[in-house]
């Protein structure tokens, strides 16, 4: 999650310096929202809740070529989190456990200063887009010291439920549907 928020925040802010970001500017792959626990619940079937928190601060924003963005001031402070709920069923179908993964990202505070009354860098707090993914999970292949391999297939949908304002450069929500199988 930490890397995803940083990458998305920096990418969105860099795009914002050149103009408002559009849906086509977003990555077309799962950048890794959470942790290795998604792939193998530690105690088998059941419910798992996890809360991730992050504070991010930057005083320099680069463009896609690595050059400093031309703004009088570049200051970003974000406190964000991600709430995750996973359920893995105790039953098996063809050797696979069905389950569901639900993720709700949120931004508690987003402070920006571009030196231009936040005309280029303007963010907002609020809930992000709801991520829902039904999955099938294999039992781990065990070795002498523990699990060696586990396999999971998830059909992840990103539902545009998050806070979105087209006049803002950085939004917790994307304002469009996504399908991200992995």
- The pLDDT score that the predictor gives to residue 66 is 85
Cβ proximity of 18 and 65 under 8 Å: no
Measured distance CA(7)–CA(15) in Å, rounded:
12
Measured distance CA(114)–CA(53) in Å, rounded:
25
- The pLDDT score that the predictor gives to residue 159 is 95
**Mean pLDDT across the chain, nearest whole number?**
79
pLDDT tens-digit profile of 55-79? 888 888 888 888 888 888 888 888 9
Measured distance CA(157)–CA(177) in Å, rounded:
7
Looking at per-residue confidence, does 171 or 44 come out higher? 171
- The pLDDT score that the predictor gives to residue 34 is 58
- The pLDDT score that the predictor gives to residue 15 is 40
Torsion of CA 26, 27, 32, 38, to 10 degrees: 90
Q: Can you say how many angstroms the Cα of residue 131 is from the centroid of all Cα atoms in its chain? A: 9
- The pLDDT score that the predictor gives to residue 178 is 93
Residue whose C-alpha is closest to residue 170's, from 130, 114, 104: 114
pLDDT tens-digit profile of 12-55? 444 444 333 433 344 444 445 555 555 566 667 889 888 888 88
- 84-96: average pLDDT: 90
- The pLDDT score that the predictor gives to residue 56 is 85
Looking at per-residue confidence, does 33 or 160 come out higher? 160
- The pLDDT score that the predictor gives to residue 91 is 93
Ordered by start, the domain boundaries in the chain are 2-181
Q: Can you say how many angstroms the Cα of residue 6 is from the centroid of all Cα atoms in its chain? A: 10
């Amino acid at each position: 999650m930490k890397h995803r928020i940083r990458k998305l925040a920096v990418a969105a802010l860099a795009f914002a310096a050149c103009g408002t970001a559009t849906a086509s500017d977003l990555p077309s792959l799962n950048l890794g929202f959470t942790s290795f626990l998604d792939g193998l619940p530690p105690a088998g079937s059941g419910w798992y809740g996890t809360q991730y928190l992050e504070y991010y601060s930057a005083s320099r924003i680069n463009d896609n070529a690595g050059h400093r963005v031309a703004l009088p001031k570049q200051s970003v402070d974000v406190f964000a989190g991600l709430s995750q709920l996973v359920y893995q069923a105790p039953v098996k179908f063809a050797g696979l456990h069905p389950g569901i993964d639900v993720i709700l990202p949120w931004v508690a505070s987003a402070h920006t200063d571009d030196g231009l009354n936040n005309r280029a860098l303007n963010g907002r707090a609020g809930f992000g887009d709801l991520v829902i993914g039904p999955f099938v999970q294999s039992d781990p292949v065990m070795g002498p010291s523990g699990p060696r391999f586990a396999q999971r297939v998830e059909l992840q949908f990103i539902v545009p439920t998050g806070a979105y304002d087209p006049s803002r450069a950085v939004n917790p929500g994307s304002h469009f549907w996504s399908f991200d199988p992995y």
